[in-house]
Structures are given as C-alpha cells and as structure tokens.
C-alpha cells in the first residue's frame, strides 16, 4: 500500500482531500519482557511497519472513523467522546483524543474531523498494532488541539503516556509503557534501552554483522484483553506486598538476584513467587544483554534471549504451545544465536537472532516443525528497525 493509494482511499471515503498524514510504528522487544509495569527496563525497537492516519477537518462537529483494515465505521459527536461498546476499534483513537484534553487543559478540540487509518502490523501478532494506532492519533491530535511540548524528547514521551492511558481506560488492558514508548521514541537501526521507572532511555545501535533479527508469527492471536495479562499485573503486586514485610520496595525491579535470595521466603503465594522470580531475573538479563550488545558479544546476547524465553515459559507462564514450539525448534538450528517470545505472550510472535547463511534453514526447519506440531503455518519477517512517530505531510 503506497501513501498515494491511502490518499485515494481517503478521497473515496470522504469525498474530499486529505489535509495531514502521520505514521507511527509497531515494535519488537528484543529482551525485557513483563518488566515494564514492574518498574524494570526493556529493550524494544520500532519496526518499519505500523499505522498510518490521514485526517481532514469537517464542519459537522463529529469525529468520523474509518479504517482500511476494518469494516466498522463510527461517527461520534465531539461533545460525546466516551468509550464505545463491543470492543469498538475506534476506542484506541477516541481515548487518546479525550485524554489529551484531560492531561492538557489548554488543548481544545474545536472542530470535527474525518479520519482514515491503515495498518500493516499483522493483527494480534503482539507487535503493538494498538500502540501504533494510539501514538499516531496522539501525535496528530496534540498538534490539532494546539498542545505540543517544545522539547521533542519530552513531547514523544508524553505521546506514549497518552497512548498508555488510552489502553488502560478505553481498552481495559493495564499495560506498561513499553509499546507506546517504542512507537513514539523509535530510531532507525537502534533499540531503546528504557528504564520504565524513571522513563530515562538511551538509543543503542543494533549493529549485527551478518546476523538478522527475524520475527516469526505463530498466527495464533494473543489475547491481551483475556484477563491473563491483568492477572500477571495483580500477581506481581501481591509479590511486592508480601516482600514488603521483610524489605520495603516500591517495585520488583528494585531487587537484584542477590536480594532475591533474601526476600523470596517472604512470598507465601507460590504463583506470585514464580512471577516475581521471572521479573528479578529478567531485569538482570536485560541489563546484561544491553552490555553484551554494546561490546559486540552477540552470542551472549542470544543466550540471554533464550534464557528469557525459558523464564517466561516456566515462571511467568505466558508462552503456550505455539510460542514454545517455535522457540524450541529455533534453538535446534545451527546459526541461531537466540530465540524467544516477544510482547505480551499467549500467542503472537517470537524474535530470533539468525546468521545470514542460516536463514533459509531456519525458516524451513522451524516452519516444518511448527506445522507438524500445531497444524498452523508460521510466517517469517526479517525486521527492519525504523523511526518513531512522524508527520508525513
């Protein structure tokens, strides 16, 4: 789909010309999973695919939503913005518009708008199609509503926070900040090492000589809203409460693996204990992985990715048969440095580091194993790491 084709689709949908056009990417997380809402660090990259938004003002004081991916259309008066029933897809946009006004009282929605979305992030793949939609909407409407922080870095962080609030309040997923942050702050050929407690971050070059980041789609949709994600958030909270009996902490990410030995006995709930063990280990692994990448120790980086999957499988229990089949098959291929699930889990995608010369064997072997064991066909994409949200025209 070219931007020209999107513009033509807009003209067909609304019978007028586009005024402005924006893009925001999806993301793949290299390591640091289920750490963001525990005050830990994450290491995602923005992808070259994402969500496009085309807009033009209307004189009718309504927001009209159409998508090239979804058949439902919505028309909502600007005086009646509230969550729409039946998991309406427009909630991911509507929420951002309302939240901009709430967080920035000087921001005013003074006109109606016609909106058209197009996304090429595979839906349900755990590559943040919803964050891309939120952040692209936040970018467009902060500008339209007359609020924009002069400091670009702060502005992008605020776009991520608006998107996250929308996900909480309009989609009911109590997610961390990683996905929206990656979509807002991505940088071509860099990963983002983000401390989700302080929101401090650095862009780390992803220079992999002769190695590619390969994303494999289970085509088994993840169900972030199914409650399992929010359960994990609650279980981690329980762990924090129980640990506080012996050591006051604000979040699990404050604990080092050494601290863990001292506090684990305080967690009486066995499930909460497993969840917390994953978080403490994952935070340490993420820091070690970033160091390894900076030093060019890619083999070690790969080992840490694999260890991350094992922990997500055994302690956090967010993998499932499809993701485990993909990762475990990948580990058997010569030339694979590491492979793990990425994103929330329960379906979605894995991310693997694969030597160039092994890519064909990887696809053939992993694809065959996966189909034999699950009856599903996997899809493979070589990730292109792209920039964060931008205005195109």
Query: How many angstroms separate the CA atoms of 166 and 164, rounded?
Result: 5
Question: With contact defined as beta carbons under 8 Å apart, do 271 and 228 qualify?
Answer: no
- DSSP codes of every residue in 113-134: EEEEEEE-SPTTSSS-HHHHHH
Does the footprint of ligand GLA cover residue 39 (CB under 6 A)? Answer: no
For ligand GLA, give the closer residue by CB, 43 or 141. Answer: 43
Q: How far is the CB of 276 from ligand GLA (least distance, A)?
A: 15
Instruction: Could you list the beta-strand ranges (E) of 59-184.
Output: 62-67, 74-77, 112-119
Does the footprint of ligand GLA cover residue 320 (CB under 6 A)? Answer: no
Does the footprint of ligand GLA cover residue 33 (CB under 6 A)? Answer: yes
For ligand GLA, give the closer residue by CB, 232 or 355. Answer: 232
Q: How far is the CB of 177 from ligand GLA (least distance, A)?
A: 6
* Residues 336-375 contacting ligand GLA, CB under 6 A: 343-344
Contacts 24+ apart (CB under 8 A), 368-371: 369/325, 369/329, 370/218, 370/322, 370/325, 370/326, 370/329
Give the number of other CB atoms < 10 A from CB of residue 300: 17
Q: How far is the CB of 174 from ligand GLA (least distance, A)?
A: 9
For ligand GLA, give the closer residue by CB, 39 or 112. Answer: 39
Q: How far is the CB of 43 from ligand GLA (least distance, A)?
A: 10
Instruction: Please state, in angstroms and as integers, the Cα–Cα distance from residue 196 to each residue in 6, 34, 40, 273, following that order.
Output: 35, 11, 6, 22
For ligand GLA, give the closer residue by CB, 43 or 381. Answer: 43
* Residues 171-230 contacting ligand GLA, CB under 6 A: 175-176, 178-179
For ligand GLA, give the closer residue by CB, 47 or 175. Answer: 175
| Member of 22, 25, 26, 36 binding ligand GLA (CB under 6 A) | 36
3-state helix, strand, coil split of the chain in percent (to 5) is: 45, 20, 35
Residue of 36, 114, 179, 315 marked active site: 179
Q: Is 179 a catalytic residue?
A: yes
| Member of 10, 23, 37, 65 binding ligand GLA (CB under 6 A) | 37
- Give the 3-state secondary structure of residue 343: coil
Query: How many angstroms separate the CA atoms of 389 and 385, rounded?
Result: 13
- Give the 3-state secondary structure of residue 167: helix
Could you list the active site residues? 179
Contact residues toward ligand GLA (CB under 6 A) are: 33-34, 36-37, 175-176, 178-179, 343-344
């Amino acid at each position: 789909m070219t931007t020209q084709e999107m513009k033509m689709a807009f003209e067909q949908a609304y019978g007028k010309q586009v005024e402005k056009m924006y893009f925001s990417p999806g993301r793949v997380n290299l390591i640091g999973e289920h750490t963001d809402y525990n005050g830990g660090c994450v290491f995602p990259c923005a992808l070259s695919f994402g969500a496009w938004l085309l807009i033009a003002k209307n004189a009718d004081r309504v927001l009209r939503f159409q998508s090239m991916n979804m058949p439902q259309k919505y028309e909502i008066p600007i005086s009646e913005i509230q969550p729409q029933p039946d998991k309406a897809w427009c909630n991911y946009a509507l929420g951002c518009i309302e939240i901009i006004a709430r967080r920035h009282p000087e921001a005013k929605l003074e006109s109606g708008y016609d909106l058209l979305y197009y996304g090429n992030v595979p839906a349900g793949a755990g590559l943040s199609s919803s964050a891309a939609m939120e952040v692209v909407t936040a970018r467009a409407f902060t500008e339209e509503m007359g609020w924009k922080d002069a400091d670009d870095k702060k502005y992008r962080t605020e776009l991520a926070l608006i998107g996250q609030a929308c996900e909480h309040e309009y989609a009911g997923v109590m997610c961390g900040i990683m996905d929206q942050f990656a979509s807002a702050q991505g940088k071509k050929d860099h990963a983002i090492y983000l401390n989700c407690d302080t929101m401090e971050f650095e862009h780390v070059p992803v220079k992999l000589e002769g190695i590619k980041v390969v994303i494999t789609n289970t085509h088994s949709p993840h169900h972030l809203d199914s409650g399992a994600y929010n359960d994990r958030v609650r279980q981690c909270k329980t762990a924090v409460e129980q640990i506080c009996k012996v050591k006051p902490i604000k979040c699990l990410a404050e604990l080092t693996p050494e601290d863990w030995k001292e506090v684990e006995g305080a967690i009486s709930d066995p499930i909460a204990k497993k969840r917390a063990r994953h978080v403490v280990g994952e935070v340490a692994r993420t820091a070690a992985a970033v160091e390894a990448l900076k030093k060019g120790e890619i083999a070690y980086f790969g080992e840490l990715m694999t260890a991350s999957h094992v922990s997500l499988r055994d302690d956090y229990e967010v993998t499932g048969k499809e993701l485990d089949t993909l990762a475990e098959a990948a580990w058997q291929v010569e030339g694979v440095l590491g492979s793990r699930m990425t994103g929330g889990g329960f379906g979605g995608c894995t991310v693997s580091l694969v030597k160039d010369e092994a890519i064909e064997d990887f696809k053939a072997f992993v694809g065959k194993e996966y189909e034999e064991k699950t009856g599903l066909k996997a899809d493979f994409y070589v990730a292109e790491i792209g920039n964060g949200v931008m205005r195109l025209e």
